[in-house]
């Protein structure tokens, strides 16, 4: 199969992307986020942050149908592909928006690969979901799960669960007699232990299960295959978030370089400032193109999807690190403060850089194909 | 024409190009060609490459989208396909890359009817080879400070000055010439000419590059006479015209089919991987060393990104502005190529010291030679530093450095 030349970016998806961008510009999620963070600045005081998100915005997003755009029509969704989902995620990254939509889109692609119509129907009905797949040492391999299944009861701990405090339910990898399977667990059946994390726009935590009631999503023994098929989508979605955030960092830093004056000139006049900003653009554009390619491959050329997704995440992780680094450095002293918005995007990028494997990890896996 | 019809015709044309290139691939010349068109120096290579370009033109792979009245083939949206297939087929490059890549796009925008009809057809067939007379000893990156003068004398212009880094200077019959017509107006005092090379007062001297090859030349112009009808656009409009020529050089325009190098970047990546697999150090393939793997995969990733950038550049809703991606092409492509060669030398280790014609050299020293030649890409046609100024100023709106 071959990909469409335009990345499958239909008129409909272009409109969707513009709508999401406009919506988030109006909502300004960072304003609400900042209010929720007041008094929690000092990490030495050990403040746990609340996993704040704009609940009205989430309700509005659901009214607009963004939570179900990648849910198949058979389960009550819109039935669009990863190109559409990645376009939405790119805008969420640009706005650094805390929202359960991020993890729900990821969960959607795992459920699609599992053919889990019932759980997909839950998403369509408004349930937010997150993946609870990591072991304590950060492995995403199904075989490394620390959760055990006994019939429909799960016991153990899943680590590094994204949007842990925002989600209504979780997709958990658990070992049963027949091998590792995937299960749906309602948030009310587990204990969420929030992590103290660097990124202010996300929340993360451990899911502790003690005989939690679960529904089977993927039969014991099949979790590895399902996750392997979904992995390109997960990598691409994070790359999309990074691409959007990197574009924000680029534009914000370029604007600052036009207005901030030193030595009687806007600092963007100086090549020591100008050239690194151009390098941010080059990095952001490489990531964005590879990300669209990966999304189109997942939708239209599955045999090539993993290669394309690893290329995209490899680029994205390095772009996240580079653009975050330059955005703070080129803002000078103000960029180093809590008040500066660049710190918020910087930390989101730090988080995304390592989520589902950093650049070096992706490249090591890519090399194995040759 | 419906979109479906257009797509079908494009696919048919692609098939045609592929088949033609397969069936007409020329036998290699008796001595090895240089790595790229801008290094061609010798007559036998010239003749071989002129024949090849003429044949490709006859087959419709060059000037594919140019109107018939100017010697083109009159198609729409076919050139990109033809050029992609030429690159893919790994056939010889087109010698007249300056004519195709710079003169033709410039004349199509700025030329008179007479100029287009007179000059375009022999560019396409390589009957007339072109070189470029922009840079001067004192005007490189700061091109606008050029001093070569053009003084009006009746219907003629008298040219005095010198040009440097002139690729194909020894083989060319025409030069794209920038000359100063007003000493008091830096930007509006430059005029653009087409200068015949075969006339009194023109002296071409080869310059040997660090590779030892003599791909470029200095050109001295002493009381050279150019009739006014060889002026391109208005007197004083030369800087504006030159910027459009350089934009073509930087890959912005699909052009009329210039392919200056026969190797695709992705092809080179695969050769680099093979090199790392067969090169052994301390009893192990270099490819098994994770440090080298990571560097090779990073440059592979960036090469694929450049390909995907090209794809995205054609989609207006996704490219962030018409010039944003095209203006990155030159700086990014040349820097990727350079790093790729640096990696290859690292993979070879001590063996990278062996150069062209050493009997133990890997692939006749192509990686060391190629590495040194990558500076052509990072310096000529506006160095990477100048490219970053242009990108910062034109795309991001940062204050002008100058």
* Share of residues in chain B with pLDDT > 70 (%): 96
Q: How far apart are CA B165 and CA B395, in angstroms?
A: 29
Residue B373 phi/psi, 5-degree rounding, is -70, -15
Distance CA B115, CA B119 (A): 6
A131: phi then psi, degrees, rounded to nearest 5: -90, 130
Q: Do A282 and B328 touch (CB under 8 A)?
A: yes
CB contact under 8 A, B308 and A293: yes
Smallest CA–CA distance, residue A234 to chain B, in Å, is 18
Q: Contact B56/B256 with Cβ under 8 angstroms?
A: no
Contact of B332 with chain A, judged by CB distance below 8 Å, is answered with yes
Inter-residue contact B66 to B73 (CB < 8 Å): yes
- Whether residues A285 and B315 touch (CB distance < 8 A) is answered with no
Interface A:B, Cβ pairs < 8 A: 124
Please, are residues A95 and A106 in contact by the beta-carbon 8 Å criterion?
no
Q: Could you tell me if the ipTM is greater than 0.90?
A: yes
State how far residue A286 is from chain B, nearest Cα, in angstroms.
5
- Dihedral pair phi/psi, residue B200, rounded to 5°: -60, 145
Please tell me the distance from the alpha carbon of residue A305 to that of residue A311, in angstroms, as a whole number: 10
pLDDT at B240: 92
The encoded tokens of residue A263 equal: 């030595």
User: CB neighbours (10 Å) of residue B40?
Assistant: 23
Helix axes B329-348, B366-379, angle to 10 degrees: 160
Among chain B residues, the shortest Cα distance to A361 is held by B294
Instruction: Please give the average per-residue pLDDT across B160-171, as a whole number.
Output: 94
Q: Residue B100 carries which DSSP code?
A: I
> Per the structure block, which two tokens stand in for B278?
């067969």
CB contact under 8 A, A282 and B332: yes
Residue B10 has pLDDT above 60, yes or no: yes
Closest partner CB to A278 (pick from B277, B304, B392) = B392
Q: Which of A363, A368, A369 to mutate to test the interface with B (most CBs of B within 10 A)?
A: A363
* pLDDT tens digit sequence for B372-382: 999 988 998 88
Kindly give, in sequence order, each residue whose CB lies less than 8 Å from that of residue A293, ignoring residues fewer than 6 positions away. Answer: A3, A7, A308, A311, A312, B304, B308, B311
For residues A274 and B399, what is the distance between their CA atoms, to the nearest angstrom?
Answer: 9
Give me chain B's average pLDDT, please.
92
Q: Are A166 and A194 spatial neighbours (Cβ–Cβ below 8 Å)? A: no
**For domain B131-249, which CATH number applies: 2.40.50.100, 3.40.50.620, 2.40.110.10, 3.30.200.20?**
2.40.110.10
| Residue from B108, B96, B22, B31 nearest B59 by CA | B22
B397 reaches A (C-beta below 8 A): yes
Q: What is the pLDDT of residue B246?
A: 67
Which residues of chain A are within 8 Å of residue B400 when distances are taken between CB atoms? Answer: 269
Asked if pLDDT for residue B260 goes beyond 80, the answer is no
Interface touch A9/B399, C-beta < 8 Å: no
Rounded to an integer, what distance in angstroms lies between the CA atom of residue B40 and that of residue B62? Answer: 20
Task: Check if B316 contacts A (Cβ < 8 Å).
Answer: no
Asked if B77 is an interface residue toward chain A (Cβ–Cβ < 8 A), one would say no
Catalytic residues of B: 249
**Residue-level pLDDT, tens digit, chain A, 370 residues:** 588 989 999 999 999 999 999 999 999 999 999 998 888 888 888 777 788 999 999 999 999 999 999 999 999 999 999 999 999 999 999 999 999 999 999 999 999 999 999 999 999 999 999 999 999 988 889 999 999 999 999 999 999 999 999 999 999 999 999 999 999 999 999 999 999 999 999 999 999 999 999 999 999 999 999 999 999 999 999 999 999 999 999 999 999 999 999 999 999 999 999 999 999 999 999 999 999 999 999 999 999 999 999 999 999 999 999 999 999 999 999 999 999 999 999 999 999 999 999 999 999 999 999 9
Chain A residue with Cα closest to B287: A367
| Three-state secondary structure readout of chain A | CCCCCCCCCCHHHHHHHHHHHHHHHHHCHHHHHHHHHCCCCCHHHCCCCCCCCCHHHHHHHHHHCHHHCCCCHHHCCCCCCHHHHHHHHHHHHHCCCCCCHHHHHHHHHHHHHHCCHHHHHHHHCCCCEEEECECCCCCCCHHHCCEEEECCEEEEEEEEEECCCCCCEEEEEEEECCEEEEEEEEHHHCEEEECCCCCCCCCEEEEEEEEEEEEEEECCCCHHHHHHHHHHHHHHHHHHHHHHHHHHHHHHHHHHHHHCEECCEEHHHCHHHHHHHHHHHHHHHHHHHHHHHHHHHHHHCHHHHHHHHHHHHHHHHHHHHHHHHHHHHHHHHHHHCCCCCHHHHHHHHHHHHHCCCCHHHHHHHHHCCC
Split at pLDDT 50, 70, 90, the class of B253 is very low
Taken in order of first residue, the domains within chain A and their CATH numbers are: 224-367 (1.20.140.10)
Of B308, B315, B389, the CB nearest to A6: B315
Nearest to B396 among A277, A289, A366 (CB): A277
B262: confidence class by pLDDT, cuts 50, 70, 90: low
Q: Which positions 142-201 of B are in contact with A (Cβ < 8 Å)?
A: none
CB count in 10 Å sphere of residue A254: 22
Q: Which residues of A make CB contacts under 8 Å with B?
A: 5-7, 9, 14, 247, 250, 254, 257-258, 265-266, 268-269, 271, 274-275, 277-279, 281-282, 285-290, 292-293, 311, 314-315, 318, 359-360, 363-364, 366-367, 370
Q: Count CA atoms within 13 Å of residue B362 on its CB side.
A: 22
Report residue B375: phi and psi, to 5°.
-70, -20
A chain contacts of residue B298, beta-carbon cutoff 8 Å: 314, 318, 359, 363
**Which chain A residues are closer than 8 Å to B389 by Cβ?**
271, 274-275
Tens-place pLDDT, residues B81-112: 999 899 888 899 999 999 998 999 999 999 99
pLDDT, tens only, B13-54 = 999 999 999 999 999 998 888 888 888 988 999 999 999 999
Tracing tokens 């998100």 back to the chain, one arrives at A53
Q: Which fold has domain B265-395?
A: Butyryl-CoA Dehydrogenase, subunit A; domain 3 (1.20.140)
Closest-CA distance, B343 to chain A, in angstroms, reads 15
Please report, for chain B, the start and end positions of each structural domain, with discontinuous segments joined by +.
3-128, 131-249, 265-395
Yes or no: domain B3-128 corresponds to CATH 3.40.470.10:
no
Whether the predicted pLDDT of B121 surpasses 60: yes
Q: Does B402 touch chain A (CB under 8 A)?
A: no
Residues 6+ apart with CB under 8 A from B285: B276, B277, B278, B279
| Tens-digit pLDDT profile for residues B337-355 | 999 999 999 999 999 999 9
Q: Is the pLDDT of residue B213 over 90?
A: no
Check pLDDT > 70 for residue B252.
no
pLDDT number for residue B255 = 59
Q: List, in order, residues 6 or more apart from B174 with CB less than 8 Å away.
A: B99, B103, B119, B128, B129, B130, B131, B194, B195, B196, B197
Rounded-to-integer distance, Cα B324 and Cα A275, Å: 15
- Distance from chain centroid for Cα B182: 30
Distance from CA of A305 to the nearest CA of B (A): 14
Mean pLDDT, rounded, for B283-305: 97
Query: Within a 10 A sphere around the Cβ of B322, how many other Cβ atoms?
Result: 11
Residue of B211, B183, B179, B177 whose CA lies nearest to B195 = B177
247-286 in chain B: CB under 8 A from chain A: 273, 277
Average pLDDT over residues B183-192: 95
Spatial CA neighbour of B309 closest among A286, A247, A314: A286
Which residue spans within B314-358 are E strands per DSSP? Answer: none
Q: How far does the CA of residue B326 sit from the closest CA of chain A (Å)?
A: 11
pLDDT average, residue stretch B240-269? 70
């Amino acid at each position: 199969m071959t990909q469409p030349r335009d990345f499958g970016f239909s008129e409909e998806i272009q409109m969707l992307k513009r709508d999401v961008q406009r919506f988030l510009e109006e909502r300004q999620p960072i304003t609400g986020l900042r209010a929720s963070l007041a008094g929690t600045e000092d990490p030495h005081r050990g403040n746990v942050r609340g996993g704040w998100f704009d609940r009205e915005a989430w309700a509005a997003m659901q009214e607009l149908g963004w939570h179900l755009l990648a849910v198949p029509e058979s389960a009550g969704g819109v039935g669009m592909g990863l190109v559409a989902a990645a376009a939405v995620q790119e805008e969420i990254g640009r706005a650094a928006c805390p929202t359960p939509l991020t993890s729900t889109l990821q969960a959607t692609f795992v459920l699609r690969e599992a053919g889990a119509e019932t759980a997909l129907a839950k998403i369509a009905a408004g349930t937010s979901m997150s993946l609870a797949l990591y072991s304590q040492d950060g492995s995403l391999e199904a075989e490394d799960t620390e959760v055990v299944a006994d019939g429909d009861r799960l016991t153990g701990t899943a680590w590094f669960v994204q949007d842990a405090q925002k989600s209504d339910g979780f997709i958990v990898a658990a070992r049963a007699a027949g091998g590792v399977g995937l299960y749906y667990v309602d948030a009310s059946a587990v204990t969420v232990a929030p992590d103290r994390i660097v990124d202010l726009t996300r929340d993360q935590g451990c899911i502790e299960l003690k005989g939690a009631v679960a529904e089977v999503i993927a039969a014991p023994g099949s979790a590895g295959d399902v996750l392997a098929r979904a992995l390109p989508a997960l990598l691409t979605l994070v790359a999309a978030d990074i691409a959007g955030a990197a574009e924000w960092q680029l534009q914000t830093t370029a604007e600052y370089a036009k207005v901030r004056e030193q030595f009687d000139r806007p600092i963007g006049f100086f090549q020591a400032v100008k050239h690194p900003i151009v390098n941010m653009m080059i990095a952001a554009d490489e990531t964005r193109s590879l990300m669209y390619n990966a999304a189109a491959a997942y939708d239209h050329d599955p045999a090539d999807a993993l290669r394309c997704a690893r290329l995209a995440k490899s680029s994205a992780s390095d772009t996240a690190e580079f653009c975050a680094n330059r955005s703070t450095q080129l803002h000078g002293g103000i960029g180093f403060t809590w008040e500066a918005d660049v710190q918020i995007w910087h930390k989101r990028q730090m988080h995304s850089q390592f989520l589902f494997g950093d650049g070096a990890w992706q490249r090591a896996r890519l090399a194995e194909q040759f | 024409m419906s979109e479906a019809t257009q797509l079908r015709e494009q696919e048919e044309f692609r098939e045609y190009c592929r088949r033609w290139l397969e069936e007409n691939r020329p036998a290699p010349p008796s001595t090895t060609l240089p790595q790229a068109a801008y290094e061609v120096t010798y007559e036998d290579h010239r003749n071989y490459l002129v024949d090849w370009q003429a044949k490709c033109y006859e087959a419709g792979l060059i000037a594919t989208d140019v109107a018939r009245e100017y010697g083109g083939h009159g198609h729409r949206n076919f050139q990109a396909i033809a050029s992609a297939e030429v690159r893919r087929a790994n056939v010889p490059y087109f010698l007249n890359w300056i004519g195709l890549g710079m003169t033709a796009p410039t004349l199509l925008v700025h030329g008179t009817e007479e100029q287009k009809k007179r000059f375009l057809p022999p560019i396409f067939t390589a009957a007339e080879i072109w070189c470029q007379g922009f840079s001067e000893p004192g005007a490189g990156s700061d091109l606008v400070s050029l001093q070569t003068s053009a003084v009006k004398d009746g219907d003629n212009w008298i040219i005095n000055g010198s040009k440097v880094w002139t690729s194909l200077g020894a083989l060319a019959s025409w030069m794209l010439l920038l000359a100063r017509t007003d000493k008091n107006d830096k930007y509006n005092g430059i005029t653009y000419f087409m200068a015949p090379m075969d006339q009194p007062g023109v002296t071409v001297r080869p310059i040997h590059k660090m590779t030892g090859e003599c791909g470029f030349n200095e050109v001295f112009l002493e009381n050279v006479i150019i009739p006014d009808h060889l002026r391109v656009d208005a007197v004083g409009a030369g800087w504006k015209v030159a910027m459009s020529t350089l934009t073509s050089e930087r890959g912005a325009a699909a052009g009329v089919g210039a392919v200056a190098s026969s190797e695709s970047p992705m092809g080179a990546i695969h050769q680099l991987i093979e090199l790392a697999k067969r090169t052994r150090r301390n009893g192990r393939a270099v490819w098994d060393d994770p440090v080298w793997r990571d560097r090779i995969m990073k440059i592979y990733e960036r090469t694929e990104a450049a390909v995907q950038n090209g794809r995205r550049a054609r989609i207006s809703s996704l490219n962030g502005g018409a010039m944003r991606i095209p203006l990155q092409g030159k700086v990014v492509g040349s820097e990727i190529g350079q790093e790729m060669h640096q990696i290859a030398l690292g993979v070879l280790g001590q063996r990278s010291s062996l150069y062209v014609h050493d009997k133990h050299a890997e692939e006749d020293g192509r990686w060391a030679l190629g590495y040194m030649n990558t500076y052509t890409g990072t310096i000529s046609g506006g160095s990477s530093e100048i490219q970053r100024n242009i990108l910062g100023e034109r795309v991001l709106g940062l204050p002008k450095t100058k």
